[in-house]
Amino acid sequence: MCDRVAMQGPPDHAAAPPGAPHRGHPPPARLSLLRCLGVASGPAAALAIALVPSGLHAVPGYGHRPAYAAAVAAWMALWWLFEVLPVALTACLPLVLFPLLGVFGRGLAGDAARAAAPFVDAYIFLFLGGMAIGAAMEQWSLHRRVALHIMRAVGTDPKRLLLGMLVATSSISLWISNTATAVMMVPIGLALLAQLESAAGGRRLTHYGTAIMLAVAYASNVGGIGTKIGTGTNSIFCGFLADKLGHDLGFLRYMAIALPFVVLFVPLLWLALWRVGKRDGLGPGRARDALDRELAAMGPMSRGEKTVAAIFAAASALWILGDPLRAALAPPLQDALRGMGAAAGFKVQGKHYEATVAVLAALGLLALRALSLASVRRMPWGTLALLGGSFAMAAGIEGGGLSAWMAAKLAIVAEAPLLAQLGLASAGTIALSALASNTATVNVALNVLPQDLGVLFAATIAASCDFMLPAGTPPNAIVFGSGYVRLPVMIRTGFLLNVAAAALITVYVYGYARHLIGG
């Protein structure tokens, strides 16, 4: 669902390592040169863009507003890149800077309202409901039970077990955050490795262990591509299309466009990781015993699990059937809203329907006590601010006239063959996502690339496809704690997968996705 924003530090009351200073009273220390540069980079770039004469100050009909929108966007992008503040706090900059700079040209009050509106967009509530469903699954360990059953069904021969780990992890990541998925699957993988190592006479399975742990990281990232709520980048993309391009993607249609990519890429992950894992020369193992023990320890499904499963199934069915149901419900609902004084131009879109389903599912979980307040407090609330800030930045780029200036400058790129555009968007976004968070990457990509739906979708997929570096996404970093993954192996394997991902995205979008998405 989301990326780096979920990587929070321990709470203040958490035990600190021996010798570590108390979090509440940090000792005075000099900021590193890199951090100082990061802190200064945002305001410095913003001042330079806003004050230095350039074509941004002379866009017909907009005055200085394109330069001011570009200044805020550059400030946000640099602070996201250097992680100066938590990404959610950086996302709130438009709330202050857009009204002060008059980016929308509506006066202080009008600009403040326009900057705040994206923070209550329907996609925010859709993602909120998705987070609540994911939190309920985690609370009752329903996702763990599903993963174990998938792995038993795929098979427990080492080669098939690796595939089972990929399938189970990616399936869970369709519905809950990639970070939570990785945290849940790593202990399962370690338990399976312990069983296999015991069957191998206590020999440490270095290569196969690396493959299993990388399977958790990579499938956690790739799986989230398949649904609108799978990762924050998908919600940003859908919100961008709806608000800026007037193109509404329903839940089922998005799955039809994106889920086949997950199905195609998982076998590529399997082949690449089996090349690493097979070096241990494993024969038939006893991993099934470990899976059976894990399931036996869980016992029969509890009432809470059954409640979460039922609400999740109902919400999924309503999302999938959204287009015909919305077509039937929208006219009377719009009439009722107009009778209550709603704006005459208001139209019930797919995101309104889907958000309503998500919020009702969350309320149902709370009402039936299948979601505790403690689980609600642990939800990554900063993700909502991050999404709101992403939508606000896009609104400022559009409303401030920066998009018109960029479209003129990128006309040459837009005139290139579509296949070349897709290749550049895919490779460039994957490279950028190795350095910046996925959400920061997709924010930059959506606002600078040619406004072709296929090209934008290619960049959105690519933002979830960095496999080389631990800093690329939280799952990549989490698996390093297992003790099995070595950086050189991850870099070599990840580089090949990055190249494969860029190639597959290009061909996939050109030959399939763009025809469904309408590009």
Per-residue model confidence as pLDDT tens digits over 423-464: 999 998 888 777 666 777 787 788 788 888 999 999 999 999
Q: Do both 190 and 310 map to the same domain?
A: yes
- Chain center to CA of 314: 24
Which long-range contacts link 405-411 to residues 24+ away (Cβ below 8 Å)? 405/55, 405/56, 405/59, 405/66, 406/447, 406/448, 407/450, 407/451, 410/448, 410/449, 410/450
Residue 181 included in any domain? yes
Same domain, 100 and 127: no
Residue 246 within a domain:
yes
Model pLDDT, residue 45: 94
Q: Per the domain annotation, does 510 fall within a domain?
A: no
Residue that wins the pLDDT comparison between 127 and 273: 273
Total tally of structural domains belonging to the chain: 2
* Residue 39 to residue 54: CA distance in whole angstroms: 25
> Quick one: 317 and 332 in the same domain?
yes
- Domain annotation covers residue 206: yes
Cβ count near 234 (within 10 Å): 27
Averaged over 213-222, what is the pLDDT? 93
Asked whether residue 434 is assigned to any structural domain, the reply reads: no
- Same-domain pairing of 306 and 240: yes
Residue that has been written with the tokens 């933002």 in this structure: 463
The 3-state DSSP class for residue 59 equals: strand
pLDDT beyond 90 at 23:
no
- Regarding whether 392 and 353 lie in a shared domain, the answer is no
Check pLDDT > 60 for residue 309.
yes
Amino acid at 77: A
Q: Domain for residue 200, yes or no?
A: yes
Cβ atoms 233, 429 nearer than 8 A: no
- The values of phi and psi at residue 86, to 5°, are -50, 140
CA dist., res. 216 & res. 170, Å (int): 8
- Both 61 and 153 in one domain: the answer is no
As given in the structure block, the two tokens for residue 280 are: 């241990």
DSSP-derived secondary structure letter, 513: I
- Tell me the C-alpha distance between 260 and 251, whole Å: 14
Distance separating alpha carbons of residues 193 and 451, to the nearest angstrom: 47
Domain check: are 254 and 395 in the same one?
A: no
State percent of the chain over pLDDT 90.
Answer: 34
More confident residue, 478 or 346: 478
pTM of the model: 0.69
Q: Taking all residues of the chain, what is their mean pLDDT, rounded to a whole number?
A: 82
Measured between alpha carbons, how far is 213 from 99 in angstroms, rounded to an integer? Answer: 47
Q: 217 with 169: CB under 8 angstroms?
A: no
Regarding whether 392 and 315 lie in a shared domain, the answer is: no
Per-residue pLDDT at 10: 32
Domain of residue 127 covers 123-341+349-378
Q: What is the pLDDT averaged over residues 143-155?
A: 79
Report which of residues 156 and 455 the model is more confident about: 455
- Binning the chain into helix, strand and coil, the percentages to the nearest 5 are 75, 0, 25
Q: What percent of the chain has pLDDT over 70?
A: 87
Domain match, 186 and 319 both:
yes
SS3 217: helix
| pLDDT at 436 (0 to 100) | 65
**Alpha-carbon distance 95 to 470, whole Å?**
32
In a domain? residue 106: yes
12 band by pLDDT with thresholds 50, 70 and 90: very low
Pick the range with the lowest mean pLDDT from 180-184, 242-246, 333-337: 333-337
pLDDT bracket for residue 7 (50, 70, 90)? very low
Q: Which of 479, 502, 420, 518 is nearest to 179 (CA)?
A: 479
Residue linked to tokens 């806003």: 50
Least confident of 39-53, 102-116, 236-250: 236-250
- For residues 179 and 285, membership in a common domain is answered with yes
3-state secondary structure 294-327: HHHHHCCCCHHHHHHHHHHHHHHHHHHCHHHHHH
- Report how far residue 124's alpha carbon sits from residue 128's, in angstroms, rounded to the nearest whole number: 6
* Bridge partners, residue 63, by sequence: 59
Q: Is the pLDDT of residue 307 over 90?
A: yes
**With 0-12 CB in 10 A as exposed, 13-18 as middle and 19+ as buried, what is 374?**
exposed
Q: Which of 26-30, 153-157, 508-512 has the highest mean pLDDT?
A: 508-512
pLDDT over threshold 90, residue 47? yes
Give yes or no: residues 131 and 105 share one domain: no
Same domain, 72 and 127: no
Classify residue 154: in a domain, yes or no. yes
